[in-house]
Amino acid sequence: MRTTINYSSYQTFVLWLLIVSGPLKSMFTYFYLDFNFTLFAFILAAVDIVVGMVFRRYEIVLTRESMFSLLMLFFIFVIMVISLLYTDSGLYAYEKSAIFIVNILYFIYPLFITKIDLEKLCKWLLWFFLPVAIMFVLARFLYFSELNADKTLIRYEFYLIRKHYLGLSTTTAALILLLVYLKKPFIYTIIALTTLIGLGGRGAFLFLIFTLFIWKFDKIINFGSSFKLTRKHLTYSIFSASAIVFVIYYFFDKIFAVINFGLLRFKTLLDPSVDRSTRGRIERLEYTIDSILAAPWKFIFGEGIGSFGILYTGVDGREYPHNIYLEVLFELGLLGLIPFLFFTIIPFWYKRNAFFQAFMLYFFLNALKSGDLTSIWTLFLSYGFIVFNPKIKT
């Protein structure tokens, strides 16, 4: 298939790089590729924004909705800067404030996109990102296998990046949403879903199912009355089912062994006493709530940006309650939470493309469980889709 290189394709590539650069960054370090793809994507987007402001200023229109969101974002950042005056955090407070600018860039970039080519975005995610996620699952299986007893097959460096399964899981689930929206062959969704389970992204999996249920609720309810089985669909269903049954029958043991590490995480999901990850989140939530309610001024003004780490662990570094609203309330108080609530909640009432809505809901749910203000770039990107509503190339 011939690929036409144009400005829309370039912007779709930048968008793809913004989405995958974070999850893939750790994998590149394993192969000694000392190149910051996240920074590279940030620079490409920033340059594109400058070009858009200079050469396309008459095409860029700010609606009341976009002006409101930008104003709320401005208030949040101002309160963040003011809190630098009283935070217990040292250098990390300034680092976190600077990193928040990345969120702002992710949010406004869709304003400067002429058209998004979702077909190309899906193709690049499917054929470039998904194989890396599958490779991660295989590498984890091999790392802990007897074949790698002397750590020559998979080096020790992999152990250092094993926790980055979360970013890979989140993006894999987003790919599944795109596959469903574009009505791609079901076998691709099966492969991506198996990879997601193998990665062990419990939150990503559960939020994906919930998002699909909300998104497709009407079709689920009306399935019986609207379902029509054509000869083409019947042939495809029989062929796909036969292929899946064949693979499962002959390779079940090998597939199960590879994805078993991910499955083990699902088994411990409902047992906090066994699962350290869940127990750790509960402890952070309890500490956060108790601290917020300890004094009125803490509830109103917060402890200051970047303060959670130094107060919770004694180390001035990245640490967070694993819930963006509690994080904002803890560090910026009610003064920061109010504009943040307006910024994140009101867009749910905007009428937009179904994929944009599903994309935003999915990343919003993830941010309630695992996000913090330095890692929710894709969430801000999804809000940019909703607020600025870029065109989709058809």
- Residue 269, helix vs strand vs coil: coil
For 320: left if phi > 0, alpha if psi spans -120 to 50, otherwise beta; the answer is: beta
C-beta neighbour count of 306 within 10 angstroms:
30
Per-residue pLDDT at 228: 62
List beta partners, residue 116: 392
CA separation, residue 51 to residues 56, 62, 102, 387 (Å): 7, 17, 18, 21
Is 239 a residue whose pLDDT tops 90? Answer: no
Instruction: Parse the chain into domains and list their residue ranges.
Output: 7-392
For 346, residues 6+ apart whose C-beta sits below 8 A from its C-beta are 68, 69
Q: What is the largest CA-CA distance in the chain?
A: 69
* Residues 47-77: tens digit of each pLDDT: 999 988 888 766 778 899 999 999 999 999 9
pLDDT bracket for residue 3 (50, 70, 90): very low
Per-residue pLDDT at 160: 81
Is 88 a residue whose pLDDT tops 60? Answer: yes
Query: How far apart are alpha carbons 327 and 307 in whole angstroms?
Result: 10
Per-residue pLDDT at 13: 95
Q: Mean pLDDT of all residues in the chain?
A: 85
Per-residue pLDDT at 1: 41
Give me the amino acid identity at 150. D
Lowest mean pLDDT among 7-16, 55-64, 88-97, 200-209: 55-64
* Residues 103-138: tens digit of each pLDDT: 999 999 999 999 999 999 999 999 999 999 999 988
* 197 token code pair: 């389970």
pLDDT bracket for residue 17 (50, 70, 90): very high
Per-residue pLDDT at 36: 80
DSSP string, 273-342: TT-HHHHHHHHHHHHHHHHHTT-HHHHHH-S-TTHHHHHHTSSSS----S-HHHHHHHHHHHHHHHHHHH
Range of 237-246, 323-332, 369-378 with top mean pLDDT: 323-332
pTM score over 0.85: yes
Per-residue pLDDT at 327: 95
* 232 token code pair: 């083409």
Is 335 a residue whose pLDDT tops 90? Answer: yes
Share of the chain above pLDDT 70, in %: 83
N- to C-terminal Cα distance for the chain?
16
Per-residue pLDDT at 343: 96
pLDDT bracket for residue 179 (50, 70, 90): very high
Per-residue pLDDT at 175: 97
Give me the amino acid identity at 353. N
Instruction: Outline where the chain has alpha helix (H).
Output: 7-30, 37-55, 64-82, 91-108, 118-124, 130-143, 157-161, 165-181, 186-199, 202-215, 217-221, 223-226, 231-267, 276-292, 296-301, 307-312, 324-345, 354-369, 377-388
Mean per-residue pLDDT, 227-253: 63
Is 226 a residue whose pLDDT tops 80? Answer: no
